[in-house]
Amino acid sequence: MNSQQVHLASRPEGTPSADNFELVSVALPELKEGEILVQNTWISVDPYMRGRMIDRKSYIPPFQIGEVLEGGAIGEVVQSNNPDFPAGSKVSSMLGWRSHFVSDGNGLTLLPNTPLPEQTFLGIMGMPGMTAWTGLFRIAELKPTDTVFISAASGAVGSIACQIAKMHGCTVIGSVGSEEKAQYLLSLGVDATINYKEADNLSQALADAAPQGIDVYFENVGGEHLEAALNNMNDYGRIAVCGLISQYNATEPQPGPSNMAMLIIKKLKMQGFIVFDHWAHYSEYAQQMGQWIAEGKVKYEETVYQGIDQAAEAFIGLFEGKNKGKMLVKL
């Protein structure tokens, strides 16, 4: 039995390209007592994985060259020597870009019995959805009266953050990179959109979209977006720093915002977070989000690439804005 796996062939300099990745066929061992064979059905590609391609100390160890790219995946147990994971059950793992794997069950989670499609546990019911909820409530202390600015607003995290903030009563402004994505956000009920690629001056565009100022900024992008947000924050505003996708492929250090003084003048709080630190609250999130989905209050989009040989292309597409909602690879 062989597993098709995508390995890191070399560390990207700047934007990743196909030659940084290598599709490899690896023989799997025979199942031992207590072990299961899982066939992955969906794998996740996420922007944070770019950070793990850099050889540095971080909250999670870097990927190693010649090793498989780990990350979220959903699969089906196809052979089982472990009564906790019977054949036919669905599991999520962090074992990433591989078609099959053998496991003793350690680190795997059985998917709950739900009518939701299994891949939602890589998106709205999984890490990206939990990230949106965590950033808004546990970091930015969202209040119903807040005006909220969300960057990368049509992405996996952003599109959920927009809808959660709207349901909480907030006024929501989202920034996106195309007119089509702007229309998508408006269909989700967002109050105003900014196409940052068309804006001569992002700070002024935000001032026009939010003349009342913004109370919360959900930061996914960095650079000019952060500078624009700082200029438009109201007193005691909160910035949840979730991602800085504009900088992930930079080959030179990128200067921070030139208006850091706004932190003092407006008494702002800016806080970075990693969703895994908040995972103890996942069941609270999942129950709430499951109910919202069942009630038809939340929509989610998926952008799907077919086949493990497309995983690298799907991942690279994240940095070109090719996804609407969650970027996924179906095996």
Asked if 174 is part of the footprint of a second copy (rule: CB under 8 A), the reply reads no
Nearer Cβ to a second copy (275/293): 275
Exactly one of 13, 67, 198, 235 binds a second copy (CB under 8 A); which one?
Answer: 235
Nearer Cβ to a second copy (12/257): 257
Nearer Cβ to a second copy (87/260): 260
Coil vs helix vs strand at 264: helix
Q: What angle do CA 20, 21, 24 make, to 5 degrees?
A: 150
Tell me the angle at which helices 202-209 and 224-232 cross, rounded to the nearest 10 degrees: 40
Q: What angle do CA 14, 19, 25 make, to 5 degrees?
A: 135
Nearer Cβ to a second copy (176/244): 244
Exactly one of 71, 243, 290, 325 binds a second copy (CB under 8 A); which one?
Answer: 243
Asked if 18 is part of the footprint of a second copy (rule: CB under 8 A), the reply reads no
Coil vs helix vs strand at 61: coil
Nearer Cβ to a second copy (143/269): 269
CB of 83 to a second copy, least distance (A): 38
Query: From its phi and psi, is residue 267 left (phi > 0), alpha (psi between -120 and 50) or beta?
Result: left
Nearer Cβ to a second copy (264/280): 264
Asked if 268 is part of the footprint of a second copy (rule: CB under 8 A), the reply reads yes
Asked if 51 is part of the footprint of a second copy (rule: CB under 8 A), the reply reads yes
Asked if 61 is part of the footprint of a second copy (rule: CB under 8 A), the reply reads no
Asked if 67 is part of the footprint of a second copy (rule: CB under 8 A), the reply reads no
Asked if 319 is part of the footprint of a second copy (rule: CB under 8 A), the reply reads no
Please give the structure tokens belonging to residue 315: 């991942």
174/162 Cα distance (integer angstroms):
7
Which residues of this chain interact with a second copy, rule CB under 8 A?
Answer: 51, 58-59, 222, 226, 235, 241-244, 247, 253-274, 277
